[in-house]
Amino acid sequence: MTDTFPKQVWTKLSAIDCSEQVQKKGQLSYLSWANAWTALMDVYPDSSYAFLDDHRQPSGTIEVHVSVCVSDGESKVKRQMSLPVMNYKNVAIVDPDARDISDARMRCLVKCIALFGLGLFLYRGEDIPAKREQKPEPLATDEQKAIIDDYIAADKAAGTTIVPPRRSVWVGRNKDRMTESQAATIIKECKES
């Protein structure tokens, strides 16, 4: 079974290492439109692109659109992309000028070419919110453990069930990894019984 043309395009373009052509602007990495277009034309010189109609939003910002057609003889595959006209902080510009729109179109072109596999690594995680570092919850204090141990010992000595049986078993299995909040909950349950 032969690969489809879109699969062939993906295989060829995603294999191109363009990491040496990546430039930095502030904290952002990007591939210039000239480098992206050159890399595409080196493999598929029949390819073309067209800028589609811009969309003006009620807020006065503009979204640009591009269509890229990768061609090899009669075989063709098209992709489209849109991008807001943004400033250097990636914030949409209200009433952008011609230069802002032109720059956004070329950025959009590179992003659309990435949909075929070329330089897509630059956009990984772009639409994923940054993970917040979660600090592990502190473990139960020695004082909390001692209080729970006292309740369990009192239960055994008196034959009572101040510590609910399910909690007593759980504490026995998890005492060394019990968190402060878990210990606080168990102590509260014991005081309420």
| Average pLDDT across the chain, whole number | 84
Q: What is the mean pLDDT of residues 97-113?
A: 95
What single-letter DSSP state applies at residue 124? T
CA distance 152 to 159: 10
Predicted pLDDT of residue 51? 98
Q: Tens digits of per-residue pLDDT, 125-166?
A: 544 444 445 566 788 888 988 888 887 787 777 766 666 665
What distance, in Å, lies between the first and last C-alpha atoms of the chain?
71
Cβ count near 18 (within 10 Å): 16
Ordered structural domains, the chain, with CATH = 5-123 (3.30.160), 142-192 (no CATH)
pTM confidence score:
0.63
Tokens standing for residue 16: 């191109």
CA distance 103 to 99: 6
Predicted pLDDT of residue 161? 63
Q: What percent of the chain has pLDDT over 90?
A: 47
Predicted pLDDT of residue 130? 45
β-strand partners of 49: 68
Cβ count near 70 (within 10 Å): 28
Predicted pLDDT of residue 164? 60
Residue 191 and residue 160 in contact, taking contact as beta carbons nearer than 8 Å: no
Count of H-run helices and E-run strands, the chain = 6, 5
Q: What is the mean pLDDT of residues 7-23?
A: 88
Q: Tens digits of per-residue pLDDT, 16-64?
A: 888 788 887 766 778 899 999 999 999 999 999 999 999 999 889 999 9
Predicted pLDDT of residue 132? 43
Judge residue 12's burial from the number of C-beta atoms within 10 Å of its C-beta, 0-12 exposed, 13-18 middle, 19 or more buried.
middle
Phi and psi at residue 156, in whole multiples of 5°? -65, -40
